[in-house]
Structure 1
Amino acid sequence: MEKQKTQAFEWFCALRNKITESFLSIEVQSFTQPKIEKRKWNRPGGGSGESTIIFGNIFEKVGINVSRVYGKLEDSAINEISGASESNGEFWASGISLVSHMQSPLIPAAHMNTRLIYTSKQWFGGGMDFTPIYKDEGDCKYIHESIKATCDEFNIEYYPKFKKQCDDYFFLQHRKEPRGIGGIFYDNLTSGNWKNDFEFTKAVGEAFLEIYLHIIHKHMQKSWTKEQREEQLIKRGRYVEFNLLYDRGTRFGLMTNGNPDAIMMSMPPLVKWV
């Protein structure tokens, strides 16, 4: 078990580094020097994490969190986490989470996270989804075909199952509308083959980076208008509403006494409600 935990945490860190380097290389192509902030934090009760935040000409704000936390859950949170009641609240969790808000309204916002959790049980979870301001059918086709190809390498049942879970999850009930064009979302993944589940989780992270880089390069040189920017800021309001009202990662972070700044890192730098 300890070897598995170490392998997973080291992968999340390696993926963070690879994504950061790739995003910074894009900023260099736009002839700007982005601002980079790194914030380390310790969790009362056990564990720590680090946030890497990039502010640039292409990426208005992208935040990448890596954490490894453990300890005992509050009584109010025990029933929220699978297997926690049987472990008397003891847990261990590690993961990577990313949210990207772009300067251009023509490039979708993106979210990706993968994680490994131990209570009396152990499982992987995560996924990716994209939120365009203006839906591009070509992008949508490319994104979903790429995700499906990744899933099919492991289990042909994964894509339809995890796509539906994503569509159901990233839905704003109070507005009766989806957050974006979806992707995949999975939780409590424990097939009985830890190595295979881990390899799938790694493949999700790699696929996300490949997909997003393709989309960014396709649109980053296109011009946009003030009216399109206004629509982008309003659409971001929906993103904020979802993360504050429904997002499980936000709830988990708060229930486990995580770092508030890291938990709220997913918030866009500018947003409007009309």
Structure 2
Amino acid sequence: MLVDHERHTAATWFRALRDRIVAAFEGLEDQGPGAAPAGRFTVTPTLREGDGGGGLMSVLRGGRVFEKVGVNWSEVHGTLAPRAQAAMASRGVPGIDTDPRFWASGISLVAHMQNPHAPAVHMNTRMFWTPGAWWFGGGADLNPCIEYADDTAHFHATLRAACGGHGADYYDRFKAWADEYFFIPHRGRARGVGGIFFDDLNTGDWQADFDFTHAVGEAFLPAFLPLAQARMGQPWSDADRDAQLIHRGLYAEYNLVYDRGTKFGLETGHNADAVLMSLPPLAKWV
């Protein structure tokens, strides 16, 4: 079973990745169109209820490029509530039915863009530990309201390259998992153009699984930044904005009804504002 070294290694890297993404996004704001001041993140420490750790909630609103973007990092621990414990037990987590202690750390990111031609995006990577098991999870998916085939191809190619060398079937398997996971059953459609998604990853080799999770996290900026840079100054119409707001409604529905991370965060007592950071600033339903 893991010792403190592995948990510290993972949490430290998640925090460092958070710091680099925040810096890169603020740099993109500096390059953004318009005369308005470049956006900057507001950083708020978060605490889990009781003495259970916490994290950083970093949110930028009303920027040149981002209408709202959140980049959260957390390291939390404690005892699972009965509902979360039962959910873990139903997934076959060893020993969780008799020992509900847990530790978790990760980074979670959602970006909603000013320009309707620039795609919204989600990324997260995380590590979870219980006395009887550990695993990694995460992924990234692209959510354009106006799809460009070249953008979709670049995003997927970058993720495919990140998976290469870690598992011969990782990209195909985790792409298929994303297609299934990021689907809105009550709308009968995907929320975006996919990406990769993985969970419960434990091959028995902690270093190999961490290295893969590391590769996914490191691939995010190369996968997304070129798309945002290419689209942030593109002219758009009222019809484009309308399409963007309607698509955001779909995104909100998914995150509130189906998203596994939203459910876990609220059930384990983490800061509700941080858990719901993914919601768009404005949305529309027809």
Normalising to structure 2: TM-score of the pair? 0.93
- Judge conservation of contact 1:150–1:207 (CA < 8 Å) in 2: yes
Equivalent in 6, 12, 21 of residue 19 of structure 1: 21
Structure 1 104/76 Cα, relative in aligned 2: closer, same or farther at 3 Å?
same
Return the alpha-carbon distance in structure 2 between the equivalents of residues 85 and 227 of structure 1.
50
Structural mapping, 1:62-141, within 5 Å? 62-81=69-88, 82-83=93-94, 85-86=96-97, 88-119=99-130, 120-141=132-153
Return the alpha-carbon distance in structure 1 between the equivalents of residues 95 and 154 of structure 2.
39
Task: Identify the residue that residue 39 of structure 1 maps to in structure 2.
Answer: 44
- Judge conservation of contact 1:132–1:180 (CA < 8 Å) in 2: yes
Task: Identify the residue that residue 3 of structure 1 maps to in structure 2.
Answer: 5
Paired letter, 1:27: E
Query: 1:86: how far off?
Result: 4.3
- Does residue 272 in structure 1 map to residue 284 in structure 2? yes
Greater mean alpha carbon deviation, residues 96-105 or residues 138-147 = 138-147
- Does residue 50 in structure 1 map to residue 52 in structure 2? no
Structural mapping, 1:77-226, within 5 Å? 77-81=84-88, 82-83=93-94, 85-86=96-97, 88-119=99-130, 120-226=132-238
- Judge conservation of contact 1:9–1:68 (CA < 8 Å) in 2: yes
Paired letter, 2:127: L
Q: Deviations over 1:219-267 (max 9, x none)?
A: 1221111110011001100000000000000011011111100001101
Percentage identity across aligned positions?
45
Return the alpha-carbon distance in structure 1 between the equivalents of residues 25 and 202 of structure 2.
32
Structure 1 84/256 Cα, relative in aligned 2: closer, same or farther at 3 Å?
farther
- Judge conservation of contact 2:22–2:41 (CA < 8 Å) in 1: no
Query: 1:87: how far off?
Result: 5.2
Equivalent in 252, 262, 268 of residue 274 of structure 2: 262
Query: 1:11: how far off?
Result: 0.5
Q: Deviations over 1:1-38 (max 9, x none)?
A: 20011111110110011001101011111263214211
Query: 1:193: how far off?
Result: 1.3
SS at match of 2:87: coil
- Judge conservation of contact 2:107–2:126 (CA < 8 Å) in 1: yes
Q: Deviations over 1:58-114 (max 9, x none)?
A: 011100110111111111221212346245111000000000000011011000000
Runs of 4+ with deviation above 4 angstroms: none
Q: CA RMSD in A?
A: 1.1
Query: 1:192: how far off?
Result: 1.4
- Residues paired across the two proteins, number: 274
SS at match of 1:154: coil
Paired letter, 2:117: L
SS at match of 2:175: helix
Task: Identify the residue that residue 230 of structure 1 maps to in structure 2.
Answer: 242
Query: 1:153: how far off?
Result: 2.1
Paired letter, 2:49: P
- Judge conservation of contact 1:53–1:62 (CA < 8 Å) in 2: yes
Unaligned stretches of 5+ residues in structure 2? none
Normalising to structure 1: TM-score of the pair? 0.97
Greater mean alpha carbon deviation, residues 216-225 or residues 79-88 = 79-88
Paired letter, 2:15: C
Q: Deviations over 1:167-192 (max 9, x none)?
A: 00000000100010000000011111
Return the alpha-carbon distance in structure 2 between the equivalents of residues 266 and 130 of structure 1.
14
Return the alpha-carbon distance in structure 1 between the equivalents of residues 103 and 181 of structure 2.
24
Return the alpha-carbon distance in structure 2 between the equivalents of residues 94 and 144 of structure 1.
26
- Judge conservation of contact 1:106–1:224 (CA < 8 Å) in 2: yes
Q: Deviations over 1:118-140 (max 9, x none)?
A: 01200000000010011111111
